[in-house]
Structure formats: structure tokens, C-alpha cells
Amino acid sequence: MTTVVWFKRDLRTRDHAPLAAAARLGEPVIPLYVVEDDYWQLPDTSERQWAFVQDSLKDLDGQLRRAGNRLVVRKGLVTDVLRQLKASHDLQRVFCHQETGGQWTFERDRAVIGWCSENNVEFREWNQFGVVRRLRNRDVWDGAWTELMRQPVQAAPASIPATNLAPINHPDDMSPEFSRRDTCPDRQAGGSARGDRLLASFLERRCIGYQYNISSPLTAVKACSRLSPHIAWGTVSMREIYQWSKATSEHRNTLPRKKKSLTSFRSRLHWHCHFIQKLEDEPELEFRAMHRELEGLKSGPNDSDRLQRWQEGQTGWPLVDASMRALHHTGWINFRMRAMLMAVASYQLWLHWRDPALHLARMFTDFEPGIHYSQAQMQSGLTGINALRIYNPVLQSQKLDPDGEFIRRWIPELAGVPAEMIHTPWLMTPAQKSRFGGNTYIAPVCDHEQAARSARKAVGDFRQRHVSREETERVLERHGSRREPVQKRPKPPGKQPWKSNDDQLSLFD
């Protein structure tokens, strides 16, 4: 009797409940990863994400070998692959982790569950994140999250009985076709070994001062844990990250300031699941505004020139362009810059949220649908329960990159421009341009201050006319954070934009 352990976004052997359960049965196990061509054609997936997965599959194969098994990589539809395995092996069970993805993976999972049921194959799913399926009451969510994080971390199985299945297909021979070419020269490498090293260096040294250093794109590169692609693709278990971090905090030699940093870090782990829960509860968020009445805020097609300039890091606002170019090159940018990129697209450039969200998704090696679509909407003012955050790209630049170091690194056109002019190069005189360079850097798309004022007014007017208190309360009830008891939360003041008690607001100053 054979068990397939189907790997998806859980590319590790440690703290892997489906694998541990399969190994405990003492019967043959097929550890399976299926390269699904159609998935890699979706508009939010990309070659850089696949490259991270490829690294991780090789590492996973190494982990499985140590337990006497091998990773089986196949290409095609999961149901077809299972059908073939059923024909060649006595396939009785499919074990896997629950996934909260977009519509495509949801339907794929339904097809697999349907196939299993029709073919008398047991299908069992485990939860790897604090995301609750069919959650009836958001008030109990926090408790469920903490309970899951505190459950014991399971060791990687020492021995996993293998089948005679051969040969193993190598991930390099199985790459999907990509319609868009995408090079990412400084992409983070995948695999559990790399994830473990990142976690260790973060907990040992890098976490100190975390909460102060994560906003500037200069300091964030080292101050942030950089674990996001490892969490997104499951090469490191979130429970293990949580427990190591807690153990480090509670160690008697840990200094109070380090403890504070780690508390702040763990609150982000909580946000991770808090945001994914939103998509789990309302899958339509992939396509439609969280606050349904705000869907009509923008109509008509996006201005393609503006969209293209934003995508290419050619808006003429240096911090915006430097952030986009850094993201293209590395596959990662810190939270504050992600928020600014999305907000500038939605407000100053007045683009509909979805095209910019899809571009960012493709550029993120750590693309996680639940966080991404919820955050993209939140930064675009579409939740109706969060304060509008319209970033001033010049003030952000002066504050977070005062010497222009980050800008110079990513915008060679401004390499010779001194700090006092680098945030507003359009104000340089011809004489200053000929002395310091900057002639080749593009002029701004528009006057950002005026565009921000128009956007604020347009959103305010739209809310006055179209937003009802009932829909705002529905969003709050369904998706609002419950860090404080529900009865203490403020009442929505009629049709005005208002703040929820979402933890997210603490990120801003």
C-alpha cells in the first residue's frame, strides 16, 4: 500500500506533518512534486519564483535521500500523475498540506480531492500555518494561531520507506515554459539549508534593532530576517521560526533590546497568517476590492504609459524608481517600499490596483497570494477599514535615504548628484545638471503633490457617495484584526474613512 506525499508550498522534511505521518505507517512512500505548466503561466507567477523552487527541490531531494528515499518530480496535471502512479503502484493515500492560494490552485485542489474520492484513495490535509478553513468566528482566530505555533516541531523522519519508482526526474529537466523572460541576477537562493542559515544569523545578530531598521531600504536588507521566500515556499517551517525566536527571547543571557526586537518580529509572523486568512475567507479578493462598494472607484482601462513607466522604474521619482529597479534585480524589497510602490501606483498614478499588484507579484520571489492581494488592496485604499496612506515619494526619500546612497546604487543616471538635489532632480538647473549629471534621468510623470491631492479628493468624494456603513461593518467583522476585544473597537463614523485597530498601522510613523 503506497502513500503519495504531495509537496506544494512546503518544500522541506522537518516539521512536515504529512511526511511524518506517511513515514510512520511503515509502508512505501512516494514524495512527489508536480511541475504544473498552467500554474506557471498565471499572471502572478514568474521564472524567478520557479528558480527558487528549483533550488528548493534539489535541496529537498538531498534531505529525502538521507532518509533512504528520493523526490519524484513529474510534469503535467496532478490528477494525471496520480492516475499513472495508481496504475503502476498500489496507491492508497495522498497526504499533503492545506494551501490557501488563488482560484487556480483552489480548483486544482478540488480536482485532486474529487479524483481521490472517485478512485478510493484516501486524501488527508494538514495545516502548516495558522489559517483556519471554514472559520466561523474571527474572534477565536488568535487563540487558534497561538495554539498551532506552540505545537511540538516534528523532526525529519529518519527513514522513509521507498518504492521501486525510477528514474527520478531532475528539476532542471522539468522547467516550465515562460511567456515572459525574467532575469533576477541577485535572487535569494532556495532550499532549507539556506533558510536555516538565514534564521540562525537573524536570531544570533541581525535581529538587534529590527524594529528601527526595517523601514529604510538601505538597512532593511540585513535588518529584516529575509525569510519570506522560505516561508512562502515552505523550506523552513513557520512554527519552527516562531519557536526558535521565542526560545532565543527567553534565554537568560538575551538582552532586553534583543527581546524587544524579537517580539516585534514575531508579531509579523502573526500578520502573515492574519493576512492569508482574509483570502481564505474571501477568495474573491484575488480579483475584487475587499470593500465591495469601492470596486467602482476606478473604471476604464489603465493608462498604459503610466503603468509601463512605473513597472520599469521610470516614474522620475528617484526613491520609487530605485525601489522598483532593486526589486527587479533582487526579487525582494522591504515592506515600506512595497507599500510606497503600490500606493504611488494607486494614488499619484491613479492606476487600477490589479495590474500593479500582478507586476509586483511576479517580481517577488516570496509571492504569497493571501498577503499580497490583501496588502495591495490595503495600500490602495480598498479595504474601507484602514486609514488612507498616500506616500509622498520625496519626503520618504529624504527620510529613509537622506544621503541618496540607495538611489545612487540603483539609478546610475543620478550617480554624481549630491544628496541635497538627489530627491528632486527635476528642480536642478541646467548648469547643475551639466556639472553633476542627471540629464539622462527621466522627468516625473506628473506633479506628485497635486496628483496626491486629486486622488485624496476623488477617494473622499467616491466614499461619500457610494460607501455604506453596512458594507464597512461587514469588512470589519470578517477581516478586522482582533488584537483588542471587539466591543472596544471604534464605531465607524458614518461614511468617513476611518482607522481600524489593525496592527499594520504601527508600521507607519
Ligand X SMILES: Cc1cc2nc3c(=O)[nH]c(=O)nc-3n(C[C@H](O)[C@H](O)[C@H](O)COP(=O)(O)OP(=O)(O)OC[C@H]3O[C@@H](n4cnc5c(N)ncnc54)[C@H](O)[C@@H]3O)c2cc1C
**Residues lying near ligand X in the complex (CB under 6 A):** 214, 224-228, 231-232, 268-269, 271-272, 275, 334-335, 338-339, 342, 364, 366-368, 371-372, 375-376, 379
Give the cell for residue 343.
Answer: 500606493
- Cis peptide before 31, with omega less than 30 degrees from 0? no
3-state secondary structure of 9: coil
Shortest reach from residue 329's CB to ligand X, in Å = 16
Phi-psi region of 46 (alpha: psi -120 to 50; beta: other; left: phi over 0): beta
* C-beta of 97 vs 226, nearer to ligand X: 226
* C-beta of 60 vs 214, nearer to ligand X: 214
* C-beta of 2 vs 49, nearer to ligand X: 49
Q: Determine contact, residues 296/466, Cβ cutoff 8 Å.
A: yes
Q: Determine contact, residues 391/343, Cβ cutoff 8 Å.
A: yes
Which of 33, 53, 13 has the alpha carbon at shortest distance from 189?
Answer: 53
* C-beta of 14 vs 372, nearer to ligand X: 372
Give the cell for residue 307.
Answer: 503603468
* C-beta of 7 vs 271, nearer to ligand X: 271
The H or E element that residue 432 is part of is helix 430-436
Shortest reach from residue 353's CB to ligand X, in Å = 10
Shortest reach from residue 267's CB to ligand X, in Å = 9
* C-beta of 43 vs 68, nearer to ligand X: 43
Shortest reach from residue 478's CB to ligand X, in Å = 18
Q: Determine contact, residues 191/59, Cβ cutoff 8 Å.
A: yes
* C-beta of 163 vs 245, nearer to ligand X: 245
Shortest reach from residue 165's CB to ligand X, in Å = 34
User: CA torsion angle for 313, 319, 325, 328 (degrees, to 10)?
Assistant: -110
Shortest reach from residue 336's CB to ligand X, in Å = 8
- H runs (alpha helix) in 290-331: 304-311, 318-330
Residues 6 or more apart whose Cβ sits within 8 Å of residue 212: 223
Q: Determine contact, residues 356/320, Cβ cutoff 8 Å.
A: no
* C-beta of 162 vs 382, nearer to ligand X: 382
Q: Determine contact, residues 286/373, Cβ cutoff 8 Å.
A: yes
Shortest reach from residue 379's CB to ligand X, in Å = 5
Kindly list the distances between the CA atom of residue 17 and the CA atoms of 24, 34, 191, in Å, as whole numbers in the listed order.
10, 19, 18
Shortest reach from residue 334's CB to ligand X, in Å = 5
Shortest reach from residue 275's CB to ligand X, in Å = 5
For residue 508, the one-letter residue type is F
Which of 370, 485, 425 has the alpha carbon at shortest distance from 100?
Answer: 370
Shortest reach from residue 374's CB to ligand X, in Å = 8
* C-beta of 224 vs 289, nearer to ligand X: 224
* C-beta of 121 vs 199, nearer to ligand X: 199
Shortest reach from residue 361's CB to ligand X, in Å = 6
Q: Determine contact, residues 104/42, Cβ cutoff 8 Å.
A: yes
Shortest reach from residue 506's CB to ligand X, in Å = 10
3-state secondary structure of 134: coil
Give the cell for residue 75.
Answer: 510534469
Shortest reach from residue 209's CB to ligand X, in Å = 13
* C-beta of 44 vs 109, nearer to ligand X: 44
* C-beta of 332 vs 441, nearer to ligand X: 332
Exposed/middle/buried for residue 58 (C-beta within 10 Å: 0-12, 13-18, 19+):
middle
Over 460-471, what HEC string results?
HHHHHHHCCHHH
Counting every residue written for the chain, the total comes to: 509
Q: Count other C-beta atoms under 10 Å from residue 492's C-beta.
A: 19
Q: Determine contact, residues 2/29, Cβ cutoff 8 Å.
A: yes
Residues 6 or more apart whose Cβ sits within 8 Å of residue 411: 313, 318, 321, 322, 325, 441
- Kind of pairing between the strands at 72-75 and 2-7: unpaired
Q: What distance in Å separates the CA atoms of residue 242 and residue 261, rounded to the nearest whole number?
A: 13
* C-beta of 71 vs 324, nearer to ligand X: 324
